[in-house]
Amino acid sequence: MSQDSEYGAGQIQVLEGLEAVRKRPAMYVGSTDSRGLHHLVYEVVDNSIDEALAGHCEEITVTIGADGSVTVADDGRGIPVDTHEEYDRPALEVILTVLHAGGKFDGKSYQVSGGLHGVGVSVVNALSERLDVTIRRDGGVFTHAFERGEPIGEMERIGSLEPGADTGTEITFRPDPEIFETDEFAFSTLSNRLRELAFLNSGVRIALRDERAPEADVREEVYEYEGGIREFVEYLNESRSAMHEDVIYFEDEDRNIQVEVAMQATEELQGSIHAFANNINTREGGSHLTGFKTALTRCVNDYANANDLLSDLDGNLKGEDIREGLTAVVSIKHPDPQFEGQTKTKLGNSEVRGIVESAVHEGVSTYFEEHPDTAEAIVAKAVEAAKARKAAKKAEELTRRKSALESTSLPGKLADCQSRDPGEAELFIAEGDSAGGSAKQARNPEFQAVLPIRGKVLNVEKHRLDRILENEQIRNIITAIGTGIGDEFDLDSLRYGKVIMATDADVDGAHIRTLLLTFFYRHMRPLLENGHVYATQPPLYRIRYRGETYDAMTDAERDEIVAERCDGNPTQIQRFKGLGEMNPEQLWDTTMNPENRILKRITIEDAAAADKMFSVLMGDAVGPRKQFIKDHAPEAEWVDI
């Protein structure tokens, strides 16, 4: 367009479309926080993955730039650059400016996209301050640029493409700070998702580069798994002891729906089953997961009964007994997936259930016939689990009866708050009696409750439910929070909207936080999923200069404050070693007062990554744990799973 007056109806529609995205970004990318920010990357990568699944792309490179941008490059066919009939503009421009235009092109049905994904690269464009694209195809190299979704100038052909040279798409975008609350891309968040995508799409090579550090420290990881989800299961089981060497794997296709299953039984107590539909982690489950569970329960019971292995037990094994310690990945690809549920992560297509069920039935019974020793070991472990389940039920009934009968059923150590409104009530779980004591004095008793915990919390990764419920700390936490646990978890009974882990900023504090998180993750997962779990972020230093007080969270921040606010003078600097060292006033000021405190909300972005993290951190294998801690040295990186 050379002049505004030449805006046709088509262009006006385009601008209105982009305006709608900018007005309600959350409708398109879920949120404008860190999650939404990362979603922009996934959106572009999904398009490259689609190219790979269509057989046209082998390698995808994601680069976090030093200037806050992200570049996604692939060696696919390249976005078409010829003229789009309807809009009379280059197709490239149409795809980047018209909502959902990508799917309308021939041979590009965007089959495997769904949920929040698949909204189209135009959404990324609309939410970027700047987007630059380079296309290699049709014998040429083409570039185009956009600001907040609007084209800057015309698409240009800047060179020719040697015959035989790689075609492809390269998109660099800088998210718009007017839209997003944060501009900080987390390497660990991106690496978890990209690794997962590489597992789910075997053969695709995905590289992640972080160029924010000085050149010598540029970090690069490459994910490529010929074994696909088989390798995913091996990876998840790295620190678990497997009961059989080979991962059980089978695949099937029916009515254009692809099913893949990989599984391996382990000696552990925690099961770890991850279901995906079109590469989306269907955290809320759905028809594929139901089909998997039904078939597995039937196969194991059939085998056990046929071989007379259930004589110790009255009745059959329950699904949960069989899934104890089982690691599995179920991945389906569907031409028209229906995503339901609160977070649109539940697969609704009912026909999928039967297809997965028969694939699993066939695959597992064949495996059992060929590996009777493994089958028997799996049954024996499930029988153990069933016995423990029955014991736990008794223990649980006992605690429930106890708490129901006693009027003061809340733990004696809990200093409760007055408010009964979970919208405002907060629970501080404080490490150690001294921090607990300070917190009780410091708090605002109207809406802040304090539960001190002494010493280490039980490592729930290592114990079955009956033992876990015998632990007093854990019982106190359960009764204080009010929701119950496991299958009986009820979010409506939550007593505090914020459950805040108040632990020290040292190694012990990090350990206790991880133990608490492991418990929440394994037994109160909806608490994490709904964003009710927080960690305090107390400052490390307090600096006083000329009657003013400054708090610093890091050494760097301390140095900056000294340099900028204190004229570089040596000043009075106090280092807080732990919460217990602060007096109540300081504790209120720095950690509890909603006006000044910094809380970190703990979210589960990626269930498989979280599962892996807990099994590695809490498991027996020392090697993987050391490696994990080395790789994720700044703790902030792994707490935010």
Q: Is 111 in the site for ligand 0RA (CB under 6 A)?
A: no
Number of amino acids touching ligand 0RA (CB under 6 A): 16
Judged by CB under 6 A, the stretch of 77-85, 310-318, 613-621, 633-641 that binds ligand 0RA is: 77-85
Report the distance separating Cα 316 and Cα 304, nearest Å: 9
What are the Cα distances from residue 621, in Å, to 22, 237, 266, 609, 615? Answer: 48, 11, 13, 17, 9
The residue within the footprint of ligand 0RA, chosen from 121, 415, 460, 582 (CB under 6 A), is 121
Of 115 and 452, the one with the shorter C-beta distance to ligand 0RA is: 115
Query: Are the beta carbons of 233 and 263 closer than 8 angstroms?
Result: yes
Helix axes 372-405, 351-370, angle to 10 degrees: 120
CB 613, min distance to ligand 0RA, A:
30
What are the Cα distances from residue 152, in Å, to 52, 283, 427, 471? Answer: 30, 40, 52, 64
Query: Are the beta carbons of 639 and 600 closer than 8 angstroms?
Result: yes
Report the distance separating Cα 463 and Cα 312, nearest Å: 22
Catalytic residue among 58, 508, 635, 637: 508
Q: Write the interaction track for ligand 0RA spanning residues 28-67; mark x where CB under 6 A is met and - where it is not.
A: ----------------x--xx--x----------------
The residue within the footprint of ligand 0RA, chosen from 108, 130, 244, 525 (CB under 6 A), is 108
Of 55 and 423, the one with the shorter C-beta distance to ligand 0RA is: 55
Judged by CB under 6 A, the stretch of 74-82, 240-248, 527-535, 563-571 that binds ligand 0RA is: 74-82
Q: In 3D, which of 551, 523, 509 has the Cα closest to residue 639?
A: 509
The residue within the footprint of ligand 0RA, chosen from 17, 76, 363, 432 (CB under 6 A), is 76
Of 223 and 250, the one with the shorter C-beta distance to ligand 0RA is: 223
CB 165, min distance to ligand 0RA, A:
16
Of 92 and 378, the one with the shorter C-beta distance to ligand 0RA is: 92
Catalytic residue among 86, 184, 506, 559: 506
Task: Give the list of residues 6+ apart from residue 152 with CB closer than 8 angstroms, or none.
Answer: 145, 146
Q: Which residues pair with 428 in a beta bridge?
A: 450, 500
Judged by CB under 6 A, the stretch of 34-42, 73-81, 177-185, 540-548 that binds ligand 0RA is: 73-81
Of 102 and 580, the one with the shorter C-beta distance to ligand 0RA is: 102
Helix axes 607-618, 622-631, angle to 10 degrees: 120
Of 21 and 562, the one with the shorter C-beta distance to ligand 0RA is: 21
The residue within the footprint of ligand 0RA, chosen from 43, 59, 74, 551 (CB under 6 A), is 74
Q: Is 80 in the site for ligand 0RA (CB under 6 A)?
A: yes
Of 35 and 56, the one with the shorter C-beta distance to ligand 0RA is: 56
Report the distance separating Cα 538 and Cα 430, nearest Å: 13
Which residues within the stretch 154-173 sit at the binding site for ligand 0RA (CB under 6 A)? Answer: 169
Report the distance separating Cα 590 and Cα 184, nearest Å: 24
The DSSP secondary structure of 164-202, one letter per residue, reads TPPPEEEEEEEE-TTT-S-----HHHHHHHHHHHHHHST
Q: Kindly report the number of other CB atoms within 10 A of residue 640's CB atom.
A: 17
Q: Is 129 in the site for ligand 0RA (CB under 6 A)?
A: no
Report the distance separating Cα 269 and Cα 241, nearest Å: 11
Of 96 and 500, the one with the shorter C-beta distance to ligand 0RA is: 96
CB 12, min distance to ligand 0RA, A:
23
Query: Is 321 assigned a catalytic role?
Result: no
Report the distance separating Cα 228 and Cα 8, nearest Å: 48
Report the distance separating Cα 132 and Cα 233, nearest Å: 38
Judged by CB under 6 A, the stretch of 31-39, 101-109, 365-373, 620-628 that binds ligand 0RA is: 101-109
The DSSP secondary structure of 589-607, one letter per residue, reads IIII-TTT--EEE---S-H
Catalytic residue among 504, 529, 551, 606: 504
Judged by CB under 6 A, the stretch of 103-111, 332-340, 341-349, 521-529 that binds ligand 0RA is: 103-111
Residue type, 157: R
Which residues within the stretch 429-488 sit at the binding site for ligand 0RA (CB under 6 A)? Answer: none
Residue type, 340: E
Q: In 3D, which of 415, 441, 433, 436 has the Cα closest to residue 496?
A: 415
Q: In 3D, which of 600, 500, 602, 501 has the Cα closest to residue 553?
A: 600
Q: Is 296 in the site for ligand 0RA (CB under 6 A)?
A: no
Report the distance separating Cα 553 and Cα 542, nearest Å: 9
Of 48 and 536, the one with the shorter C-beta distance to ligand 0RA is: 48
Query: Are the beta carbons of 97 and 125 closer than 8 angstroms?
Result: yes
Query: Is 431 assigned a catalytic role?
Result: yes
Catalytic residue among 129, 234, 431, 606: 431
Q: Is 102 in the site for ligand 0RA (CB under 6 A)?
A: yes
Query: Are the beta carbons of 430 and 579 closer than 8 angstroms?
Result: yes
Closest residue to bound ligand 0RA by CB: 47
CB 108, min distance to ligand 0RA, A:
4
Task: Give the list of residues 6+ apart from residue 202 with CB closer than 8 angstroms, or none.
Answer: 225, 226, 227, 228, 229, 231
Active site residues: 431, 504, 506, 508
Please report, as ranges, the residues that interact with ligand 0RA according to CB under 6 A: 44, 47-48, 51, 74, 76-77, 79-80, 95, 102, 105, 107-108, 121, 169
